[in-house]
Amino acid sequence: MDTLIAALFTGTSRGAIYALVAMGLVLVWRGAGIVNFAQMGQAMFSTYIASTLIMNGYSYWLAFFVAIAAGALLGVFLDLVVMRPLSNKKQTELLSSQSMRSAVPVIASLGILGVLQALAGVIWAAEERGFQAPFAQEGYTIAGRVMPFTSFDLFVVTVVAITLILTVIFFKKTGVGLAMRASALDQEVAKLSGIRTNGVRALSWAISGAASSLAGLLLTPTSNLSPYTLDLALIIGFTAAVVGGLDSLPGSVIGGFILGFVISFVNYYMTPEDIYLAILAVLIFVLVVRPRGILGGKDTRRV
């Protein structure tokens, strides 16, 4: 019984973070048609910025918001400097097939990941460093038992819930949100309606960058920070996005929580080494049973 409750608690707080990672991936996929493998590299970079600020005596909260802003800026920078020139028609006419052309930015994102990790190694040295949490890391006590749910976990769940609600309101209720949905669904009609699709695209990168930086900030206190610590989160987040349907934001959140619970249960009931196998099993199961994901549209299959 204790193990079950513990698994549920851990699953919730982990799932919340994976939902954020998956949401970031889905945003760029919908907004720019790119699976951004550099996403958690960007998050790692901004988490290092936060960590450096904290080590230099600035408050956690200042570092927290600076890192999120840095994540957004880095996202826009990558779109403007790397991705947009790459998807420019003239430069890619050499590649004849459409699938080859759309692969170029994805490969570039792997390159960016490598560059960011190397750069972080050069700037901050490649050793792991701790990253403080703003709250106590002791579990709450329920009925005399210490639960693996700390005030930091509560903070994680609250922050993610607020972020998700704000995202939903933004997309459903604001003009910019509508412009983003329209451009993701049909570029041509969006353009003819006067929507500046380039700006919308950059905004997708910004929001995705901010969301994944937030995920990075929420993940590192329970592990450590090194240029490679967030790689696993990318794999899990990507799986969550595929499970949810890659082009669906609510789907990505559902996928995130499914992965959170699966990993947490495997961790408690089996051994931690089995989680990679579990992730793969979930991915294969969804791809076999429902290839377009839980809430995915019809043509996600080709991904």
Partner 1 sequence: MLEVTDLTTSYGSVIALNSVSMKVKESKITTVIGANGAGKSTLLRTISGLEKPSSGSITWNGQSLLHRRPEEIVRVGVAHVPEGHAVISALTVEENILMGSLFRRRTHKRDIALATEELYTLFPRLLERRKQLAGTLSGGERQMLAISRALVSRPSLLLLDEPSLGLAPLVVEQIIDSIKILSEKTGLTVLLVEQNANTALGVADHGVLLSLGKVVADRPAHELKADANLRAAYLGY
Characterize 191-204 residue by residue with b for buried, 16 or more Cβ atoms within 10 angstroms of its Cβ, and e for exposed.
Answer: eeeebebeebbbbb
Instruction: By CB under 8 A, tell whether 195 contacts partner 1.
Output: yes
Instruction: By CB under 8 A, tell whether 185 contacts partner 1.
Output: yes
| Least Cβ distance, residue 172 to partner 1 (angstroms) | 10
Q: What is the DSSP string of 218-260?
A: HHGGGS-B-TTTTHHHHHHHHHHHHHHTSS-HHHHHHHHHHHH
| Least Cβ distance, residue 169 to partner 1 (angstroms) | 15
Instruction: By CB under 8 A, tell whether 169 contacts partner 1.
Output: no
Instruction: By CB under 8 A, tell whether 136 contacts partner 1.
Output: no
Instruction: By CB under 8 A, tell whether 27 contacts partner 1.
Output: no
How far, in Å, CA of 254 to CA of 293, rounded?
11
Instruction: By CB under 8 A, tell whether 95 contacts partner 1.
Output: no
Look at residues 164, 276, 156, 262 and name the one whose alpha carbon lies nearest to residue 219: 156
Instruction: By CB under 8 A, tell whether 145 contacts partner 1.
Output: no
Instruction: By CB under 8 A, tell whether 191 contacts partner 1.
Output: yes
Is the CB of 144 or the CB of 175 nearer to partner 1? 175
Question: What type of residue sits at position 250?
Answer: P
| Least Cβ distance, residue 292 to partner 1 (angstroms) | 14
Instruction: By CB under 8 A, tell whether 193 contacts partner 1.
Output: yes
How far, in Å, CA of 28 to CA of 35, rounded?
7
Q: Decide: helix, strand or coil at residue 58.
A: coil
Helix (H) or strand (E) holding 162: helix 151-173
Instruction: By CB under 8 A, tell whether 87 contacts partner 1.
Output: no
Considering only the stretches 65-73, 160-168, 183-191, 234-242, report the one whose residues sit in contact with partner 1 under the rule CB under 8 A: 183-191
Whether residue 106 contacts residue 35, with contact meaning beta carbons closer than 8 Å, is answered with yes
Q: Decide: helix, strand or coil at residue 34.
A: coil
Instruction: By CB under 8 A, tell whether 280 contacts partner 1.
Output: no
Instruction: By CB under 8 A, tell whether 294 contacts partner 1.
Output: no
Which residues are at the interface with partner 1 (CB under 8 A)?
Answer: 175, 178-179, 181-182, 185-186, 188-197, 297
